[in-house]
A and B are shown apart, each in its own frame.
Chain A
Amino acid sequence: MRRAPTLAVVLGHLAAIVATAAALYPVLWVVKMALGPSQAFDQSPNPWPSHWSLQNFRDLWGAGSAGHLWRQLGNSCVVALATAVVGLASSATAAYAFSRLRFRGRQGSLAFFLATQMFPGTMMAIPLYILLDDLHLLDSLLGLVLVYSTTAVPFCVWTLKGYLDTLPRELDEAARIDGASSWQIFTRVVLPLARPALAVTALFAFLSAWNEYILAATFLGDERTFTLPVALQRYVGEYHTEWGHFAAGALVVSLPVMLVFFALQKQLVAGLTAGGVKG
């Protein structure tokens, strides 16, 4: 193991601290508004909280959500996790094929997956509404999961393929010589090695479903099926927004994301086992 020079270590820590401070600075206002007593948007120069009241959080769970907040939090978790699982499951095989196999229509399908990401989402709400209505999936979390995971699939395919391209081919070639089928290579060799990539992709799919609200608000028609962002967006009005409640809700929304990321970190940094690719 080589050792980094002391100066580099010091500068590196300094850079990490500065970057973290810059990343957190605007978020301090969110914390300040969430803990503050008023519902006004805080434009004061000092972001340090001046009050420490949990009233906004109590309101979130109480009157503001008609007591549905736990349920809405649960809905969001179910939808986001299901989106991550469905998105990942249906795209992992495709990514493997695109990365490792050569077949007719490969280029075209890859371009097609990318192209679907390009249509501005704001124009999709009404046609999707018609589609879900015909499938009798309005007002259901299943319909939402379907929409979210299909919009996440092209991204998942592309990123996963990018990672798989970085994995050394010697491993699957060795397995093929040993007589393994494509499926066996996929499940036994490629998937275990792709853990960091799966973690990144899962995080993305989770986040895309977790934060989305305009489609959810359009499709869901019952407070008990609302997801958290829909419930939260209610504090934003035409003339006036209850910023204290909204900020408290934003913190509630971002906390699980950080927990998920924290949990995925192990996978993310697991990396290749030493020796696994020694030629």
Chain B
Amino acid sequence: MPASLLALSLCLAAPRTVALWHSYRADEARALSDLADRFNRSQSEYRLELLSIPYDAVASKVSAAIPRGHGPDLFVFAHERLGGWAEGGLLAPVSLQPGRFLPGTAEAFQWKGRQLGAPLAFKTLALFYNRRLLPTPPATTDEVLADAVRLTDPGAGRFGLAYQSGDFYYHVPWIFGFGGSLFDARGRLDIDTAPVAASLRFVADLQARGLIPQEATSALVTQLFAEGKAAMAINGPWFLGELPKGLDYGVAPLPVVSATGLPAKPFLTVEGLFVSANAREPDGAAKALAFLTSDEAALTRAREARQLVANRAAYLDPQVAADPVMTAFRTAAERAVPMSTAPVMQLLWEPAQGALRAALRGEDPRDALRNAGSQLRALQRPAPATASPWPTLAFVLALVAAIVAWERRRRSAAEPARWDAYAFVLPAAIATVALVLFPILFSLGLSCFHRGLDGSYRFVGLGNFTDILASRGYAITEPLSFYFTLAVTLLWTAVNLAFHVGLGVALALLLHASWLRLRPLFRVLLIVPWAVPNYLTALIWKGLFHRQFGAINGLLVAVGLPRISWFSHFSTSFAADVCTNVWLGFPFMMVVALGALSSIPRELYDAAALDGAGPWNRFRHVTWPLLRPALLPAVILGGVWTFNMFNVIWLVSGGEPGGSTDILISEAYRWAFARQGQYGYAAAYSAIIFVLLAGYAVGAQKLLAGREART
């Protein structure tokens, strides 16, 4: 049987696949792909296959796939998530010689004495300066100030320095430079200290004197520095790829803070290779890891992609050593502080960023820090106690029984069972029950657990619910409280719906009018806001609302009004969110109304016109009554979507100021992904959202039923 023998031998000879997930792009992706080719040629036992996936899907994909025995053998990610993944049992130990790597980079992947990843490259912040404006970089903050004052010209829109002053990651260097730290002597998070206040005063002063732009986003920093309108910028290695080719710039370590004589130390984050605990080819993964982190491979990455590799040896290469940018970053890395992998670190960002932005808005830094401190304590409040499952189970059963009994009683005056009707509903019902109900029940179950910082789960019964509903840890009037967020969410939903329906119906009537020219064109153009992915357009709206450079403030100035700092006050920040969401959402209502309008027989209008009804009466007595039944389901559903509209809140106001514009869904998201991976707590939040909306649905259903009874 030569054919099967041939197949067998092919089988034996075929290399076994080692899968690697990464989210590199451009040059870095090309360098990695070159290395994979080289690895595959160098031996025949394994074949390294690369899969590039979106950066913000990596974490959820890895967490879903690895525990189920799927997923990659290797994946690339930053070291910050190490703690959670290590405790979740997702990672396998790797072997390497830490001495080959820059100080701190290999150690970043150690967890409880085990090496759970290998460093590839590092990222940190440095000072970029425009050589044409500033031949030598300032070494101290006093020199930075002197240069900045000289090079700032508010009339021409020029700034001495530009960086994302409202982002806590960019502020951390100043905290260390002023002699502060993020933890107290007992290792607990604490930023309510004098050095931190001094650092806040320093940046608030920079902004008050107009030396740095306000509300600087990464886009703005790039634009200002690229156009020569900012003499200096603080940024990371990713900035290199954004700068135009001809720009003459240099890179230097961050300055020394003159008040203390200490250098401003940025965070060091390290990107590394992780081996899955469920790798199908552990040996192949180890071989590929050794190859990719070798000095030789590092040199390829450094030369081809200008990657700031973690291997010491790469910096001895003449080509790399001659690159001033790479050597400057290497020096910067030596001063940098490795970002803590302790899961508790995740709690710091939100309160710290809140305090930073409050200080930049002109609030007293001490007050801002005191608020942040109490917020930190609230986030670190003790978890609910472990509970026995029986009372919860009994409660749930009683609840189900009560609902069933209530349904039965209600049904006594019932409608008949009709088999033809059930056959009609069956396809939709099967689909929904199978794929929608299961995830919901899964999440409801999860809401009875507490996820510790170490990733372990423990049953707490209804503890999460009582925590949320009793607003444990903070006052009801604080933005962190459930009731505050609920009130904002209800307001958000009502205002948006009013605008969506009003605008949607008005435009639909216009587009339905027979006298309108180019109707098909208008119809298509007006759905454009719905068609373009809202991730992008929401960010464009955020840019339009920018305090110094936004087109909306530009318009206000043009008509003689003062600029508005949109995200500094609840009302204006909320208005910005609403404006964006109305723009995104009106086409849906318009299309629904358009469809409904076309089902109204023209004869009715002709009859009404014969009876002498004017346009308003025709609308009130003909159009509206016939439009309403078709619009009502859309309004009910629109209410649900708006209630859960995450993207706009997250991307436009981001909860600013101080989390006050957060709605329930963005709050739940923060608990799950931005605070400490409290999936149980977040699931409880989701369950409460679910119950609230179910109540709304029953109410809406009654409304519909009442209407049906009358027709």
List chain A residues, Cβ under 8 A from B690: 115, 118-119
The 8 Å CB contact of A213, one of B54, B527, B540, is B54
* B68 and A129 within 8 A (CB): yes
* B51 and A13 within 8 A (CB): no
* B630 and A165 within 8 A (CB): yes
Compute how far the CA of A163 lies from the CA of B423 in the bound complex, rounded to whole angstroms.
21
Asked whether any CB of chain B lies closer than 8 Å to the CB of A180, the reply is no
List chain A residues, Cβ under 8 A from B631: 162
Compute how far the CA of A27 lies from the CA of B709 in the bound complex, rounded to whole angstroms.
45
List chain B residues, Cβ under 8 A from A16: 507, 510-511, 516, 522
Asked whether any CB of chain B lies closer than 8 Å to the CB of A57, the reply is no
Interfacial residues of chain A within 210-264, with CB under 8 A of chain B in the complex: 211, 213-214, 217-218, 221-223, 229-230, 232-240, 242-243, 246-247, 250-251, 253-254, 257-258, 261-262
Q: Which stretch, B248-256, B260-268, B284-292, B431-439, touches the partner chain A?
A: B431-439
List chain A residues, Cβ under 8 A from B421: 97, 101, 103, 106, 182
List chain A residues, Cβ under 8 A from B495: none
* B241 and A238 within 8 A (CB): no
* B540 and A29 within 8 A (CB): yes
* A258 and B425 within 8 A (CB): no
Q: Mark A44-74, 1 if CB is under 8 A from B, else 0.
A: 1101000000000000000110100000000
By size class, the interface of chain B is 35 or more
List chain B residues, Cβ under 8 A from A42: 219, 223, 543
Contacts A111-B701, A116-B436, A237-B25 hold; do A200 and B592 have CB atoms under 8 A apart? yes
List chain A residues, Cβ under 8 A from B490: none
Q: Is the interface of A mostly helix, strand, loop or mixed?
A: helix
* B595 and A197 within 8 A (CB): yes
Q: Closest CB of chain A to B651's CB: distance in Å?
A: 12
* A166 and B244 within 8 A (CB): no
Q: Closest CB of chain B to A176's CB: distance in Å?
A: 12
Compute how far the CA of A114 lies from the CA of B532 in the bound complex, rounded to whole angstroms.
27
Q: What residue of chain B has the Cβ atom nearest to residue A98's Cβ?
A: B425
The 8 Å CB contact of B599, one of A44, A272, A274, is A272
List chain B residues, Cβ under 8 A from A146: 431, 435
Contacts A98-B425, A217-B57, A237-B23 hold; do A30 and B537 have CB atoms under 8 A apart? yes
Q: Mark B405-428, 1 if CB is under 8 A from A, else 0.
A: 001000100111110111111011
Compute how far the CA of A29 lies from the CA of B420 in the bound complex, rounded to whole angstroms.
53
Q: Mark B45-59, 1 if CB is under 8 A from A, else 0.
A: 000000111111100
* B526 and A9 within 8 A (CB): no
Asked whether any CB of chain B lies closer than 8 Å to the CB of A157, the reply is yes
Compute how far the CA of A237 lies from the CA of B517 in the bound complex, rounded to whole angstroms.
44
* A114 and B411 within 8 A (CB): no
Q: What is the size, in residues, of chain A's interface with B at 8 Å between Cβ atoms?
A: 142
* B595 and A234 within 8 A (CB): no
Q: What residue of chain B has the Cβ atom nearest to residue A260's Cβ?
A: B531
Compute how far the CA of A24 lies from the CA of B544 in the bound complex, rounded to whole angstroms.
14
* B440 and A116 within 8 A (CB): yes
* B64 and A218 within 8 A (CB): yes
* B443 and A124 within 8 A (CB): yes
The 8 Å CB contact of B242, one of A22, A121, A123, A240, is A240
* B226 and A24 within 8 A (CB): no
Compute how far the CA of A65 lies from the CA of B415 in the bound complex, rounded to whole angstroms.
57
Asked whether any CB of chain B lies closer than 8 Å to the CB of A142, the reply is no
* A218 and B57 within 8 A (CB): yes
Asked whether any CB of chain A lies closer than 8 Å to the CB of B611, the reply is no
Interfacial residues of chain B within 502-550, with CB under 8 A of chain A in the complex: 507, 510-517, 520, 522-537, 539-541, 543-544, 546, 549-550
Asked whether any CB of chain A lies closer than 8 Å to the CB of B551, the reply is yes
Compute how far the CA of A12 lies from the CA of B506 in the bound complex, rounded to whole angstroms.
11
Compute how far the CA of A110 lies from the CA of B539 in the bound complex, rounded to whole angstroms.
37
* B244 and A271 within 8 A (CB): no
* A214 and B57 within 8 A (CB): yes
Q: What residue of chain B has the Cβ atom nearest to residue A147's Cβ?
A: B435
List chain A residues, Cβ under 8 A from B51: 221-223
Asked whether any CB of chain A lies closer than 8 Å to the CB of B78, the reply is yes
Asked whether any CB of chain A lies closer than 8 Å to the CB of B168, the reply is no
Q: Closest CB of chain A to B111's CB: distance in Å?
A: 21
Asked whether any CB of chain A lies closer than 8 Å to the CB of B705, the reply is yes
Q: Closest CB of chain A to B106's CB: distance in Å?
A: 21
Q: Closest CB of chain A to B684's CB: distance in Å?
A: 11
Compute how far the CA of A131 lies from the CA of B517 in the bound complex, rounded to whole angstroms.
51
* A125 and B60 within 8 A (CB): yes
* B226 and A104 within 8 A (CB): no
Q: What residue of chain B has the Cβ atom nearest to residue A259's Cβ?
A: B524
* A113 and B432 within 8 A (CB): yes
Asked whether any CB of chain A lies closer than 8 Å to the CB of B362, the reply is no
Asked whether any CB of chain A lies closer than 8 Å to the CB of B92, the reply is no
List chain B residues, Cβ under 8 A from A126: 60, 63-64, 442
* B536 and A30 within 8 A (CB): yes
Contacts A12-B513, A30-B532 hold; do A107 and B630 have CB atoms under 8 A apart? no
* B646 and A13 within 8 A (CB): no
Contacts A234-B25, A237-B23, A237-B238 hold; do A250 and B428 have CB atoms under 8 A apart? no
Q: Closest CB of chain A to B683's CB: distance in Å?
A: 6
Contacts A213-B54, A242-B25, A257-B531 hold; do A153 and B601 have CB atoms under 8 A apart? no
Contacts A20-B522, A150-B435 hold; do A270 and B61 have CB atoms under 8 A apart? no
Compute how far the CA of A250 lies from the CA of B409 in the bound complex, rounded to whole angstroms.
53
Q: What residue of chain A has the Cβ atom nearest to residue B61's Cβ?
A: A218
Asked whether any CB of chain B lies closer than 8 Å to the CB of A23, the reply is yes
The 8 Å CB contact of B64, one of A40, A98, A125, is A125
* B697 and A261 within 8 A (CB): no
Q: Closest CB of chain A to B82's CB: distance in Å?
A: 15
Q: Mark B630-666, 1 if CB is under 8 A from A, else 0.
A: 1111101100110110100000000000000000010
Contacts A9-B515, A120-B689, A237-B55 hold; do A130 and B68 have CB atoms under 8 A apart? yes
List chain A residues, Cβ under 8 A from B595: 163, 196-197, 199-200, 268
Q: Closest CB of chain A to B435's CB: distance in Å?
A: 4
List chain B residues, Cβ under 8 A from A66: 52
* A238 and B533 within 8 A (CB): no
The 8 Å CB contact of B223, one of A43, A118, A254, A262, is A43
Compute how far the CA of A265 lies from the CA of B427 in the bound complex, rounded to whole angstroms.
28
* B536 and A94 within 8 A (CB): no
List chain A residues, Cβ under 8 A from B539: 41
List chain A residues, Cβ under 8 A from B516: 12-13, 16
Compute how far the CA of A13 lies from the CA of B521 in the bound complex, rounded to whole angstroms.
13
List chain A residues, Cβ under 8 A from B644: 118, 120-121
Q: What residue of chain B has the Cβ atom nearest to residue A167's Cβ?
A: B599
Q: Closest CB of chain A to B702's CB: distance in Å?
A: 9
* A154 and B432 within 8 A (CB): yes
List chain B residues, Cβ under 8 A from A108: 407
- 30 residue pairs of the A-B complex, CB under 8 angstroms, read A3-B515, A19-B507, A20-B522, A23-B529, A23-B583, A30-B536, A40-B222, A41-B222, A44-B223, A45-B551, A116-B437, A125-B60, A127-B442, A131-B438, A133-B70, A157-B428, A158-B633, A159-B592, A162-B634, A196-B595, A207-B530, A214-B57, A237-B25, A240-B238, A257-B531, A262-B524, A265-B524, A268-B595, A269-B594, A274-B603
* 19 extra interface residue pairs, beta carbon distance < 8 Å, beyond A125-B64, A165-B711: A8-B615, A16-B507, A27-B537, A38-B226, A109-B425, A114-B701, A122-B665, A126-B442, A150-B434, A151-B436, A153-B431, A162-B630, A186-B424, A200-B591, A217-B54, A221-B71, A237-B25, A270-B598, A274-B601
Q: Which 9 A-B pairs rank lowest in CB-CB distance, beginning with the nearest? A: A41-B219, A217-B57, A271-B598, A97-B424, A162-B633, A118-B693, A240-B238, A127-B439, A233-B54
Q: Which residues of B contact A (CB under 8 A)?
A: 23, 25-26, 30, 51-57, 60-61, 63-65, 68, 70-71, 78, 123, 217-220, 222-223, 226, 236, 238-239, 241-242, 244, 407, 411, 414-418, 420-425, 427-429, 431-432, 434-440, 442-443, 507, 510-517, 520, 522-537, 539-541, 543-544, 546, 549-551, 554, 583, 587-588, 591-592, 594-596, 598-603, 605-606, 609, 615, 626, 629-634, 636-637, 640-641, 643-644, 646, 665, 668-669, 672, 682-683, 686, 689-690, 693-694, 697-698, 700-701, 704-705, 708, 711
